Structure 1
């Protein structure tokens, strides 16, 4: 017997937001109603899906196991509903992309693609809910959030040290820079690994460890690249992501040493729309763009 649809919607919203209250706001019902629907799903499956600790909820192992499948199922249902309602595939393709990838890689990569205005690009952080947000294609770093979706690797990047063309290095190179000259990037708590000067120097077998509190600190690779272009210091950026700046001379690589990134940049989409012509055209174009600069 299939689980109740409302119960699955309540579980998906609660798992994604981490709150019965927020899920209720999204679904237009009370938090008590969300909790009741989740309990109905738990009874149906014979599994505890959340650990309830006061106002806090945490997914159990069973909840973590079924969440991506339920999110995918709701995405598939939404896609079918769209096609039935319109009698055809949706006219626009919604592409969701990480902020730095959008500005530094996707914008140049989309050059030459003719969509007749049928592509919408949204810049947002992970995770996105394909069904709820109407997303067709996600371009992101790693695919941990989207285990049950179609995933294709675009490329694996490496971290390079860059600065403005006119930025003058001391005689000892990057290692001799004062701590204040280093631009630090912190991607936030959602990422276990990120461009870090300490890791770059350690990989280079150097004892140098710049003080993160002495230099500029930003939350996005695109901002770090912009500060470096302005001559405000040396930044660590993914070579492929910042490739357009490097090839155009707006940034220059100041040291040949590179630090491999731990995950791939990927394209992700629901299997239900895999045959959609516009999706296939966009992914083919991005695939070719990734190969061109490899």
Structure 2
């Protein structure tokens, strides 16, 4: 057998690289920061390469560290998958899907309904949580994330690159549109603003939308309605609370049913696509592959994996 690197050190390296912190790695592993640091030194000595650049309390992967990390993460994930199969006797039927808060209800749930028509006996565990998550340790089959950069060691499938456009309830526009042909004359208090949170800087704002439509207006958020989720912005618009800059994939069902109307054909693309991440060993499972296909489907397209079904 070929000589293997120390596996405890590889595990410490994988967690430290993923969390970008010896302190966070120590918390996850249940050891001290000094123990993590020592394991990293052991691995560096074994490879004869420096894996991290250390600057005070901050760490960053070196070129050698970047070269090693994807394979180390993938190998540990495969080992974890083998252990689960042995413990469960190879009879696992539960699909564990991890998803951000904003996507769970309006985007994921309708597609899970289609999946369950094809796999009616399947048990599904939907976990709603922010990035990052430990896919291997938490036994997650599929993680859906905004952006393609969170999990470099895993299989990646880009699902959809969404866009936003102005939407509101028909009755709201009838009462507050003032006969306007566009949004130029709408008061600032009528706009719904989505606060994406401190971790995101690439989501378009109302100022971005007005710029895309050839106008310089920037509605004042302090005068309008503010919500903390894109799905809540759409729900608020549906209830007649204002005009939301709604994501198209989330608003599609409401637009088709007439519960919402689009006030302009102008849309603005999000900064990143939504992506699916999974351990390579799980990517070919029928339930995982079927859900990935549904999530990446063009609306209305009939899928080969699920005859007669459309999303």
TM-score with structure 2 setting the length: 0.84
Provide, for residues 140-159 of structure 1, a one-character-per-residue CA deviation record: whole Å limited to 9, x for no partner.
23322233432233333221
The aligned runs of 1:177-216 (5 Å cut-off) are 177-216=186-225
The aligned runs of 1:1-294 (5 Å cut-off) are 1-114=3-116, 115=119, 116-167=121-172, 168-172=176-180, 173-287=182-296, 290-292=299-301
For residues 218 and 227 of structure 1, the distance between their equivalents in structure 2, rounded to whole angstroms, comes to 9
The total of aligned residue pairs comes to 294
Question: Per the alignment, in what secondary structure is the counterpart of residue 217 of structure 1?
Answer: strand
Provide, for residues 3-50 of structure 1, a one-character-per-residue CA deviation record: whole Å limited to 9, x for no partner.
221112112222333332332222121221111111112222333333
Unaligned runs of 5+ in 2: 302-309
1:211–1:61 CA distance, 2 compared to 1 (3 A): farther
For residues 246 and 5 of structure 1, the distance between their equivalents in structure 2, rounded to whole angstroms, comes to 53
For residues 67 and 177 of structure 2, the distance between their equivalents in structure 1, rounded to whole angstroms, comes to 51
Question: Per the alignment, in what secondary structure is the counterpart of residue 174 of structure 1?
Answer: coil
For residues 299 and 7 of structure 2, the distance between their equivalents in structure 1, rounded to whole angstroms, comes to 40
1:147–1:19 CA distance, 2 compared to 1 (3 A): closer
TM-score with structure 1 setting the length: 0.88
Shift of 1:64: 4.1
Contact kept, 8 Å, 2:192 with 2:226, in 1: the verdict is yes
Equivalent in the alignment of 2:307: none
Provide, for residues 177-236 of structure 1, a one-character-per-residue CA deviation record: whole Å limited to 9, x for no partner.
222222222323433311311111111111112223332333320121122223222111
For residues 272 and 13 of structure 1, the distance between their equivalents in structure 2, rounded to whole angstroms, comes to 20
1:30–1:194 CA distance, 2 compared to 1 (3 A): same
Shift of 1:289: 7.1
Runs of 4+ displaced beyond 6 Å: none
Unaligned runs of 5+ in 1: none
Question: Per the alignment, in what secondary structure is the counterpart of residue 268 of structure 1?
Answer: strand
Contact kept, 8 Å, 2:194 with 2:228, in 1: the verdict is yes
Shift of 1:106: 1.0
68-77 vs 98-107, which deviates more? 68-77
